């Protein structure tokens, strides 16, 4: 069979990204224009500014992705784009551009679910990984524990009841003065701190053993900071970061391994921005090793939003003939398709 080259476009949040991937597994280019600097001064992503930045960046980013792959537009087999979930303005930029591109070049269009993209990031770095496997997706907007039954077929076992794991990182980082984006900053600060210095709660959701909740932990950190301030005690930022991170990682690994034991899984993967966290990677790897489970994680650059993961997920949709019409629209609260 001829090689399949998918152009993947991602604009759901604050990264304008495009990539070319061969046969769903081999990255030929992966261009990421991050808007983090722009949003840092506001302490978080401002949707309207993000949309405008995507409009400015999408054309040069896609051109660069095609050029770095040493390809011409006509060599591309299909155009895959994230159409949800995410911020509606940013999503619309990518979707509109991808539709125009596909129409103009006479190429098929593929709509990709953002979480499906995060899961597929694992296929790029682990060529031997094939479903079935279990995957924990932890990002700024999502915390999902999923059984990947096949390409494009998912069973959601658990999800967050309130804040996503990355959202908790970002909010706590802001509270302790580390700024945006919180995840990488807490990760770094925690290396200098004692994870047992402060006993923050490990939340478990009653009746749903695989669900997550992080808002109580966030409140516990805020209460701790307030009480230190009232007592005039100095706050050790590194200890707060390390203790908060230990609580997040404990719950993520605890619920994941409970599910892995119950379902008897042989392969476990992590995905999403928080999957680049050094403590989570280490704890998950150790827990899997203890159980003889094969552990997979994408390299850090493929954990956060990128076009290659969208191209990889798009490849498997393309192979199934799941093509989108030119009526494709942005769906900010899109559910994971194929989930039961």
24 is a site residue for ligand KG4 (CB under 6 A): no
Residues 68 and 80: their CA atoms lie apart, in Å, by 18
Q: Identify what 169 binds: Zn ion, ligand KG4, none; CB under 5 to 8 Å per kind.
A: ligand KG4
181 is a site residue for ligand KG4 (CB under 6 A): yes
What is the closest distance, in whole angstroms, from the C-beta atom of residue 82 to Zn ion in the complex?
9
Q: Which whole-number Å values give the CA distances from 169 to 220, 244, 306, in the listed order?
A: 13, 9, 20
Using the rule CB under 5 A, give the single segment among 50-58, 194-202, 244-252, 304-312 that binds Zn ion: 304-312
Site residue total, ligand KG4 (CB under 6 A): 19
274 is a site residue for ligand KG4 (CB under 6 A): yes
Backbone angles phi, psi at 279, to 5 degrees: -70, -40
Could you tell me if 134 and 145 are in contact, meaning their C-beta atoms sit under 8 angstroms apart?
Answer: yes
Nearer to ligand KG4, 108 or 239 (CB): 239
Residues 158 and 96: their CA atoms lie apart, in Å, by 33
DSSP state of 235: P
Find the binder of ligand KG4 among 10, 116, 163, 170 (CB under 6 A). 170
193 is a site residue for ligand KG4 (CB under 6 A): no
Find the binder of ligand KG4 among 101, 151, 169, 316 (CB under 6 A). 169
Q: Which residues from 34-63 bind ligand KG4, rule CB under 6 A?
A: none
Could you tell me if 77 and 70 are in contact, meaning their C-beta atoms sit under 8 angstroms apart?
Answer: no
Could you tell me if 306 and 16 are in contact, meaning their C-beta atoms sit under 8 angstroms apart?
Answer: no
User: How is the chain split among helix, strand and coil, in percent rounded to 5?
Assistant: 45, 20, 35
What is the closest distance, in whole angstroms, from the C-beta atom of residue 183 to ligand KG4 in the complex?
2
Give residues in contact with ligand KG4 (CB under 6 A). Answer: 13, 139-141, 166, 169-170, 181-184, 187, 272-274, 276-277, 304-305
């Amino acid at each position: 069979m001829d090689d399949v080259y998918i152009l993947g476009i991602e604009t759901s949040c604050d990264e304008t990204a495009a990539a070319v991937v061969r046969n769903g597994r081999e990255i030929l280019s992966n261009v990421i224009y991050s808007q983090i600097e722009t949003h840092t001064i506001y302490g978080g992503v401002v949707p309207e500014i993000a949309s405008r930045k995507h409009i400015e960046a999408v054309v040069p980013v896609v051109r660069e992705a095609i050029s770095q792959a040493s390809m011409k537009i006509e060599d591309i087999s299909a155009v895959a784009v994230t159409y949800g979930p995410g911020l509606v303005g940013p999503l619309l930029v990518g979707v509109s551009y991808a539709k125009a591109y596909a129409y103009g070049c006479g190429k098929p269009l593929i709509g990709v679910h953002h979480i499906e993209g995060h899961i597929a990031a694992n296929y790029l770095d682990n060529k031997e990984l094939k479903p079935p496997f279990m995957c924990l997706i932890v990002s700024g907007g999502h915390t999902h524990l999923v059984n990947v039954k096949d390409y494009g077929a998912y069973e959601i076992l658990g999800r967050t009841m309130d804040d996503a794991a990355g959202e908790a990182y970002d909010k706590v980082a802001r509270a302790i003065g580390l700024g945006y984006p919180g995840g990488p900053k807490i990760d770094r600060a925690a290396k200098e701190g004692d994870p047992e210095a402060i006993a923050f709660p490990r939340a478990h959701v009653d009746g749903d053993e695989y669900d997550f909740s992080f808002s109580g932990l966030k409140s516990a950190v805020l209460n701790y900071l307030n009480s230190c301030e009232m007592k005039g005690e100095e706050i050790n930022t590194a200890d707060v970061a390390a203790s908060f991170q230990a609580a997040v990682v404990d719950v993520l690994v605890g619920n994941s391994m409970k599910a892995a034991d119950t379902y008897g899984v042989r392969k476990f993967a992590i995905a999403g921005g928080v999957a680049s966290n050094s403590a989570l990677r280490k704890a998950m790897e150790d827990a899997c090793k203890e159980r003889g489970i094969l552990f997979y994680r994408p390299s850090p650059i493929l954990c956060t939003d990128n076009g290659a993961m969208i191209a990889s997920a798009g490849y498997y949709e393309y192979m199934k003939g799941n093509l989108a019409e030119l009526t494709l629209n942005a769906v900010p609260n899109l559910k994971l398709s194929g989930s039961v």
